Structure 1
Amino acid sequence: MNEDGQVSISRRGLVAAGLAVVTVGSMSVVWTLNAGAAENPADVTAVASASAEPSGAATDPSTAGADPSTTGAAPFTTVDADPAGPDPAEDASTPPARLPWGGRPVAVTRAEPGANSAKVAAEGADIAPADKSGATQAPPEFSPKGRNSRWSSVRSTRTSVVAPVPPPLTEPVPRAGSQVNFLYGVGSQNAETDGAYANFSIAKPKLASGDFHTLAELSVQSADGAQIVEVGWTVDRTVNGDSDPHIFVYHWVNRKETCYNACGFVQYSQTVKPGDTLPEGGNKRFGIQHYNDAWWVAYDTEWLGYFPDSLWNGQFTRSGQVQFFGEVASPSTQPCSHMGNGLASDNASAARVGSVAYINGPEVDLNVRAIGGVYSVNKLSARTFRYGGPGAC
């Protein structure tokens, strides 16, 4: 949080305030997945990452335009970026000395507050505060909640705020309420780790009218999928107030939804916060690492903040599964929204998740698949794939 406790009063704040009036304490939706998995033949043409390696980081062959599985190089894996481990005098508010990919934290470059994603990219910046106040305090929580005041109360209603849902291993049990369909392009692995990271394409996909969101994310989960930490970018007009890509964090406790960008998330960075606008058209690293009794979230060259272990009563301290994916949430089974950058995965310019790596985990070997029959995936190597498409329209 900002040291001076600065509060943002902005368009996004007003959107959040409006949501508080019309949303509820728990979301009731039908999670319907069209589980006809499709997997395209592997395409060994690797696309060079546009993001530079931080000084002192481990060498990542993909940043030079090559993936190890296509060049014969050794697989790229990691160990704990801070081999000495936590200092006993430290607590959960102290991050690792190095980012998951090995570099020492450096403040990201900010565009002017309120800049859109095209302007952030044009200026060569890493983020822009989403509102013109430029506050570094995380915005209010956005997900469903009730409202109670001396004038009126809202206890049950429908909501258009839909949580990002990692693909389940089995078909979810339908629940009463408004239907929401989740469609995916995903790479996943059952992997016990202290965390994971990857390079993600940042895009500004078209979000069709009536659809909920289109996003890309990294999800670190318990083996049963009940406990989850997520980070990524999302285009969601209800959450963010515009059609630009914004960074988000989220977590689940015992399969229960929480809320975007809050609900126990502790802000650490003074320059980047959840909800900030990202540069479209580039590539950025996202990572999650367990350290010092907390799950730490990293973006680009900074530690963003953390979810303390106390949110899970100390029972979720290591992953059992890791997933990297694009997701579209829609009332329709044939949505018109773009996934990724709107290009099908067999296009060499399609959105890409690259150079996946684990922290104190096994060798990366992703299972890549599409779920829903509308979008596609294309595996490039054990740790890199393209995904996405223009939708069904």
Structure 2
Amino acid sequence: MPEATSPAPSEPPINEDGQVLKSRRGLMAAGLAIAVVGAIGVVSTVNAGADQIESVPEASAPAEASDAAGADAANATGPLATASRKPPPLLPWGDRPKKLKRGAAGATSSKLRSQGLSAAPAEAGESLVPKGEYGPKGRTTRNSILRTAVTDVVPPKPPGLKAEDKTVNFMYNTGAQSADTAGVYANITIGRPELDRDDYHSLAELALQSADGSQTIEVGWTVDRVVNGDDDPHLFVFHWVNDVAQCYNGCGWIQADGEIKPGATLPYGVTKKFGIQYYDKGWWIAYDTAWIGYFPEEIWNKQGVKFNRSGYVQVYGEVAAGVNKDKTCTDMGNGTPSSKDTAARVSSVSYIDGPPVDLFIYSTAEKTYPVAPVTARSFRYGGPGDC
């Protein structure tokens, strides 16, 4: 569990050395464990991008939740026996939900892209819920940035790592804002970043947080060999309770009736919509044209926390590098420098029942991954690292 350092200013300054190291979602064989240490003041940088969304839909009025989705649901990791809660009638961006264009189980990201499909189950007949302990997961909040972690997870093909060398360093390109909302959504470029052999992951995500940053819901895509077993981008969800990391794609996650689960393979080189919305006593996750599932609010209620509005919202790219590296060859985004129009983008960031979007955009690793603001709602991010 990360230990926060001294609080940062309301708009935190960027690190002098620009170092915020890669965070890779590591979740693989059973028995993996992680001990997270260290946190630092959070920074935020945002660039506006293309594919602007015309308007923000009004939040749907929450329906009364069924008693069937009680405290037991907080421990569920798969579909409920009864459909006790139904998703909002409209997706966060105002469209009616419809079936995803799904590929065959085991389809690669490249194949999905060539066929114009949205996602595919990662492997036929295999649960995508994490079975082991949790791999390293980076994080930024309004008061801190998780800069380093120590883990028992070792990247594939490690160059003779020793236990004491298994340090994870995190780097970020971020857009953030203090915002009281019922949800957030954005268009995000899905890349297939190349990972250095001793690094953990490269990802992009939406993070909706409580006002103090202690409670968090996350959704996005990640390239992580430990978590996913390959070099393709995969859909993931994650959450934090009272500043304690939970796990990838489980730990209370309730699957909707959709055809894919978190962990599904995604196409690369495309822009897709990702969203988080509070509705019917749960935080619902949307991807592309469908609702995927939700985290019931009981997860937080049983810890004595009321979490049904955001107080802070972030969108960011993240790299998790290993072995105490100050430099890395891992790509962020699509590997194209943010100075170029073809770089990965976070664009059309929008809130549900919230204030106008005015992101504070920053990089914690400016020398390695400069960020390029485009508008108050969009930015270009990432690059090829130091190679």
Range of TM-score over shorter length: 0.7 to 0.9
Which residue matches 2:30? Answer: 20
What is the CA–CA distance in structure 1 between the aligned matches of 2:248 and 2:176, rounded to whole Å?
23
What is the CA–CA distance in structure 2 between the aligned matches of 1:259 and 1:290, rounded to whole Å?
20
What is the CA–CA distance in structure 2 between the aligned matches of 1:88 and 1:127, rounded to whole Å?
30
What is the CA–CA distance in structure 2 between the aligned matches of 1:192 and 1:118, rounded to whole Å?
38
1:292 pairs with 267, 280, 283, which one? Answer: 280
SS state at 2:274 partner: strand
After superposition, the C-alpha distances for 1:355-386 in whole angstroms (9 at most, x for unaligned) are: 11000000000001001231011111110111
What is the CA–CA distance in structure 2 between the aligned matches of 1:389 and 1:370, rounded to whole Å?
12
Q: Is the 8 A contact 1:195 1:358 kept in 2?
A: yes
Q: Is the 8 A contact 2:185 2:273 kept in 1?
A: yes
SS state at 2:172 partner: strand
Matched, 1:257 2:267: no
Q: Is the 8 A contact 1:111 1:125 kept in 2?
A: yes
Structure 2 spans left out of the alignment, 5+ residues? 1-25, 70-83, 152-165
Residue 171 to residue 299, structure 1, CA distance change in 2 (3 Å): closer
1:79 maps to amino acid: E
2:98 maps to amino acid: V
Which residue matches 2:128? Answer: 139
Which residue matches 1:238? Answer: 226
How far 1:31 sits from its partner (Å)? 4.1
What is the CA–CA distance in structure 2 between the aligned matches of 1:265 and 1:127, rounded to whole Å?
19
Which residue matches 1:224? Answer: 212
Matched, 1:378 2:352: no
Counterparts of residues 76-115 of structure 1 (less than 5 Å): 76-80=55-59, 82=60, 84-87=61-64, 93-115=85-107
Matched, 1:282 2:270: yes
Residue 173 to residue 327, structure 1, CA distance change in 2 (3 Å): closer
1:358 pairs with 343, 346, 351, which one? Answer: 351
Structure whose alpha-carbon radius of gyration is higher: 1
Q: Is the 8 A contact 2:210 2:311 kept in 1?
A: yes
What is the CA–CA distance in structure 1 between the aligned matches of 2:149 and 2:264, rounded to whole Å?
33
Residue 233 to residue 172, structure 1, CA distance change in 2 (3 Å): closer
How far 1:169 sits from its partner (Å)? 3.2
What is the CA–CA distance in structure 2 between the aligned matches of 1:163 and 1:307, rounded to whole Å?
18
Residue 168 to residue 34, structure 1, CA distance change in 2 (3 Å): closer
Residue 172 to residue 225, structure 1, CA distance change in 2 (3 Å): same
1:369 pairs with 344, 362, 369, which one? Answer: 362
TM-score (normalizing by structure 1): 0.77
TM-score (normalizing by structure 2): 0.78
How far 1:29 sits from its partner (Å)? 3.3
What is the CA–CA distance in structure 1 between the aligned matches of 2:137 and 2:45, rounded to whole Å?
26
1:339 pairs with 321, 324, 332, which one? Answer: 332
1:307 pairs with 295, 320, 326, which one? Answer: 295
Q: Identity, % of aligned pairs?
A: 43
Counterparts of residues 98-177 of structure 1 (less than 5 Å): 98-133=90-125, 138-142=127-131, 144=133, 161-166=135-140, 169-170=143-144
Structure 1 spans left out of the alignment, 5+ residues? 1-14, 50-59, 62-75, 146-160
Residue 206 to residue 34, structure 1, CA distance change in 2 (3 Å): farther
Residue 352 to residue 176, structure 1, CA distance change in 2 (3 Å): closer
How far 1:94 sits from its partner (Å)? 1.5
Q: Which moves more between the two structures, 176-185 or 237-246?
A: 176-185
Q: Is the 8 A contact 1:198 1:353 kept in 2?
A: yes
SS state at 2:371 partner: strand
1:321 pairs with 312, 317, 320, which one? Answer: 312
SS state at 1:20 partner: coil
Q: Is the 8 A contact 2:40 2:144 kept in 1?
A: no
Residue 372 to residue 174, structure 1, CA distance change in 2 (3 Å): same
SS state at 1:248 partner: strand
Counterparts of residues 50-65 of structure 1 (less than 5 Å): 60-61=53-54
How far 1:171 sits from its partner (Å)? 5.2
How far 1:85 sits from its partner (Å)? 3.5
Residue 226 to residue 89, structure 1, CA distance change in 2 (3 Å): closer
How far 1:211 sits from its partner (Å)? 0.5
Q: Is the 8 A contact 1:205 1:337 kept in 2?
A: yes
Q: Is the 8 A contact 2:44 2:360 kept in 1?
A: no
How far 1:128 sits from its partner (Å)? 1.1
What is the CA–CA distance in structure 2 between the aligned matches of 1:38 and 1:292, rounded to whole Å?
31
How far 1:253 sits from its partner (Å)? 0.4
How far 1:333 sits from its partner (Å)? 2.5
SS state at 1:327 partner: strand
After superposition, the C-alpha distances for 1:233-278 in whole angstroms (9 at most, x for unaligned) are: 0000000000000000000001111110011000003312101000
Which residue matches 1:199? Answer: 187
Which residue matches 2:155? Answer: none
Counterparts of residues 38-49 of structure 1 (less than 5 Å): 47-48=50-51
